[in-house]
Amino acid sequence: MSEFSVAASFERKAKEVTGSQQSIQTLSVWAIHHRKHAKSIVEAWLKELLSSRESKKLTLIYLANDIIQNSKRKGHEYSSEFGIVMAKALENVYQYCDDSVEKAVSRVLDIWEERGIYNEHTISLLRPRSYTPPYSPPPEMSANTDEGAVDQLPLNVEEDAECSEEPPDTETFLERLKNLDQSAASHDDRTRMKITNIAQELLDPSAVASIDDHRELERLQEKAESAHELLEKYSKHLGSEVRDRISMVHMLKSYINHHRAELSRAEEQLTEHRQKHEKVQKVRKQLQLHLDSLPDLSKLPSNTGGLAPLPSVGDLFS
């Protein structure tokens, strides 16, 4: 496809995209497949966002997030192109949308900062002017934070509605499944081995109280900081994987439901055509019986056998 046709196709698809996770991911996979046209696609994305209604703007931000995060394994085309236009896009979002949308956008920006997609300075420029950094509790308090904090993104998804939508095509489904398997944190044996090898003394708070040596405490503190960073990063990756796998479950349910419906239709058509075939078979047999009951024309006497030949024209006028 030419660059112009890719941009036009994306613009048309972006007008039809909904806030469901499946709809966003389907268009995201399509955009990543055409990443060599990233510049034109991002320009079409910005055009659609600037002209869309308030409720659609957040959906397009979620779409950009999905494209940026899932394309980084294949290159940085999209993170670069979106980085160029994102300030203009978010300025429009902040101008026309309410506080709930602003909070949702801030969550996206938090994820981009946590995962190093854009640096702290760039993220600060994308924040709304009214933004106030949240209070961060000390490490000893953060152990009780909600596990949901590691989730990738609170999408505007109606879970029950997902499976009623059009299912992903087979190529999209397999592409998403392949990407998930390649990036799954649970398959990261190297990191899991590091976690397994964390010193036992760091897992037993009561053991610390018995240590009087200042140097030993400092050594343990360094190990604890390193282990904390490792576990926190891995927990975030696992949270992202859990969310991706939940998404895959919804896609799979939709895919299965679609093919069950197709199977039901095929079975109905098979039954209908078998009935027609039986009727044709009956008519065929009746025709054969009827043909068999007719006299054999080959055994009839000749038309001229035993009769005088008809006169010719010349005989008639002679």
Instruction: Give the tokens for residue 259.
Output: 């093919």
Pair 208, 128 in one domain? no
pLDDT confidence of residue 147: 39
pLDDT confidence of residue 58: 94
Pair 190, 109 in one domain? no
User: Residue 14, Cα to own-chain centre: how many angstroms?
Assistant: 14
DSSP state letter for 149: G
Euclidean distance between CA atoms 27 and 50, whole angstroms: 19
Going from the C-alpha of 25 to that of each of 112, 187, 238, 244, the distances in angstroms are 18, 23, 19, 10
| SS3 annotation, 96-143 | HCCHHHHHHHHHHHHHHHHCCCCCHHHHHHHCCCCCCCCCCCCHHHHC
Q: Is residue 22 part of a domain?
A: yes
Instruction: Give the tokens for residue 20.
Output: 């469901």
DSSP state letter for 307: S
Pair 220, 121 in one domain? no
| 14: pLDDT strictly greater than 50 | yes
Looking at 132, 164, 192, the residue that finishes a domain is 132
Pair 92, 193 in one domain? no
| SS3 annotation, 153-194 | CCCCCCHHHHCCCCCCCHHHHHHHHHHHHHHCHHHCHHHHHH
Quick one: average pLDDT of 298-312?
Answer: 63
Q: What is the dihedral of CA 47, 50, 53, 57, to 10 degrees?
A: 90
Q: How confident is the model at residue 44 (pLDDT cuts 50, 70, 90)?
A: very high
pLDDT confidence of residue 32: 92
Looking at 264, 287, 306, the residue that finishes a domain is 264
Q: Is residue 160 part of a domain?
A: no
Give whichever of 129-143, 200-214, 272-286 has the largest mean pLDDT: 272-286
pLDDT confidence of residue 129: 67
Q: In terms of Cα–Cα distance, which of 159, 148, 161, 147 is closest to 247?
A: 159
Pair 259, 187 in one domain? yes
Report the greatest alpha carbon distance in the chain.
Answer: 150
Looking at 247, 264, 281, the residue that finishes a domain is 264
Q: Is residue 97 part of a domain?
A: yes
Number of domains, the chain? 2
Pair 100, 202 in one domain? no
| 87: pLDDT strictly greater than 70 | yes
pLDDT confidence of residue 75: 85
pLDDT confidence of residue 154: 38
pLDDT confidence of residue 239: 81
Contact present, 67 and 78 (Cβ < 8 Å): yes
List, in sequence order, every beta strand (DSSP E) within the chain.
none
Euclidean distance between CA atoms 55 and 115, whole angstroms: 27
Please report, for the domain that includes residue 115, its CATH number: 1.25.40.90
Q: Is residue 282 part of a domain?
A: no
What angle, 0 to 180 degrees and rounded to 10, lies between the N-to-C axes of helices 214-293 and 170-183? 160
Q: Is residue 281 part of a domain?
A: no
Quick one: average pLDDT of 159-167?
Answer: 46
Quick one: average pLDDT of 76-93?
Answer: 92
pLDDT confidence of residue 37: 92
Q: In terms of Cα–Cα distance, which of 20, 28, 30 is closest to 70?
A: 28
Between 73 and 94, whose confidence is greater? 94
Pair 12, 121 in one domain? yes
Cβ atoms within 10 Å of 116's Cβ, excluding its own: 9
Burial letters 163-196, b for 16+ CB under 10 A, else e: bebebbeeebbebbeebbeebebeebeebeeeee
Q: Which residues contact 187 (CB under 8 A, 6 or more apart)?
A: 181
What pLDDT digit, counting tens, does each position of 197-234 carry? 877 767 777 766 777 777 877 888 888 888 888 888 88
What angle, 0 to 180 degrees and rounded to 10, lies between the N-to-C axes of helices 214-293 and 189-196? 140
Q: Is residue 285 part of a domain?
A: no
Contact present, 102 and 95 (Cβ < 8 Å): no
Pair 231, 111 in one domain? no
Pair 18, 124 in one domain? yes
pLDDT confidence of residue 258: 77
Question: What is the rounded average pLDDT for all residues in the chain?
Answer: 79
| 135: pLDDT strictly greater than 60 | no
Q: How confident is the model at residue 155 (pLDDT cuts 50, 70, 90)?
A: very low
The three-class DSSP label of residue 151 is coil
Q: In terms of Cα–Cα distance, which of 130, 109, 138, 132 is closest to 121?
A: 109
pLDDT confidence of residue 116: 87
- Positive or negative, the Cα torsion across 162, 155, 184, 242? negative
Pair 16, 113 in one domain? yes
Euclidean distance between CA atoms 81 and 117, whole angstroms: 12
Q: Is residue 147 part of a domain?
A: no
Between 299 and 223, whose confidence is greater? 223
Question: Whole domain around residue 185: which residue ranges?
Answer: 177-264
Pair 7, 71 in one domain? yes
Between 134 and 72, whose confidence is greater? 72
Q: Is residue 17 part of a domain?
A: yes
Going from the C-alpha of 182 to that of each of 24, 51, 238, the distances in angstroms are 21, 37, 13
Pair 18, 110 in one domain? yes
